[in-house]
């Protein structure tokens, strides 16, 4: 421990190489994937910002579809015999045929 000396007069001046932070791995990756379209670090930063914005909007849309928004109401009739004639005339046959009948023999 006696061999370590501290000299307060010496100041470390960063060189030009040390002044600029290293390029992030994500920036290098997106520049490589772009195939030369993104030539500068600034362009890659804007591209990453755009990708993040797209993911944010996509997340909001998925959440709204999952948790919010109007719910479709179920078909109010459980049996074929419950459907009024005016509604039955407008129903597609496959929907009407998918309804069970109150009498078990008519399926």
- pLDDT, tens digit, 9 for 90 and up, residues 44-85: 999 999 999 999 999 999 998 888 767 777 778 889 889 999
Higher pLDDT, 19 or 106: 19
Per-domain residue ranges of the chain: 23-67
Q: Cα separation of 45 and 68, whole Å?
A: 33
Q: Cα separation of 85 and 64, whole Å?
A: 37
Mean pLDDT of 18-37: 85
Q: Cα separation of 53 and 60, whole Å?
A: 11
The pLDDT score that the predictor gives to residue 15 is: 64
């Amino acid at each position: 421990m006696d061999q370590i000396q501290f000299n307060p007069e010496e100041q470390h001046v960063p060189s030009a190489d040390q002044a600029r932070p290293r390029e992030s791995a994500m920036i290098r990756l997106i520049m490589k994937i772009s195939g030369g379209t993104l030539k500068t670090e600034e362009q890659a930063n804007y591209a990453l910002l755009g990708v993040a914005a797209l993911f944010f909007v996509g997340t909001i849309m998925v959440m709204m579809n999952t948790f919010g928004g109007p719910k479709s109401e179920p078909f109010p009739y459980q049996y074929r015999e419950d459907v009024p004639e005016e509604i039955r005339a407008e129903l597609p046959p496959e929907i009407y045929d998918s309804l069970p009948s109150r009498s078990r023999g008519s399926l």
